[in-house]
Amino acid sequence: MSDSSKGSDKSSRSNDDAPVAGKKRRGPSGSKLKTSSNAVRSKVASVIWLVAVVCALLLATGALLIALNANPDNSIVKFVLDGADLLDGPFSLDNGVFTFDANDAETKSALVNWGIAAVAYLVVGKVLDRIIRP
């Protein structure tokens, strides 16, 4: 190639890549913005799923502690039962979806109502996870 052809290649090149004086550079490109948005959505979905699993675990553990007649004066048992009672919503022990009158009514009520509440937390958590996650 001759020197004249090299010069023509440089002049025919577009000036879109060259910085223009006085023009500010824009933020991240669309693909970078979408990637970071997807990362945030993924983290939020993971946190929501984690919260749902912890709530379900607390409810299931509370029901198990009642079924095993754990000592309610123990601080750990008290913490778990208070946490489960806080999370039970319409599935409470006293006035839940299912009520029992026979022997071991409290145990049956805890296993059924708190079990249903634990499953509800898992279902709602997974649905929200699927909706939010990209």
**Domain limits, the chain:** 61-134
8 Å CB contact between 123 and 52: no
* Pairwise pLDDT comparison (102 vs 55), residue with the higher score: 55
Check whether 118 has a pLDDT greater than 90: yes
Q: What confidence score (pLDDT) does residue 80 get?
A: 96
- Which of 76, 41, 62 lies closest to 107 in space, CA to CA? 62
Lowest mean pLDDT across 14-18, 25-29, 40-44, 95-99: 14-18
What's the whole-number mean pLDDT along residues 53-81? 95
Distance from C-alpha of 109 to C-alpha of 101, rounded to nearest angstrom: 9
8 Å CB contact between 66 and 74: no
Check whether 104 has a pLDDT greater than 70: yes
Q: What confidence score (pLDDT) does residue 100 get?
A: 82
Structure tokens, 101: 């009158």
Structure tokens, 14: 């577009």
Identity of the residue numbered 127: V
Q: What confidence score (pLDDT) does residue 17 get?
A: 54
Distance from C-alpha of 25 to C-alpha of 82, rounded to nearest angstrom: 55
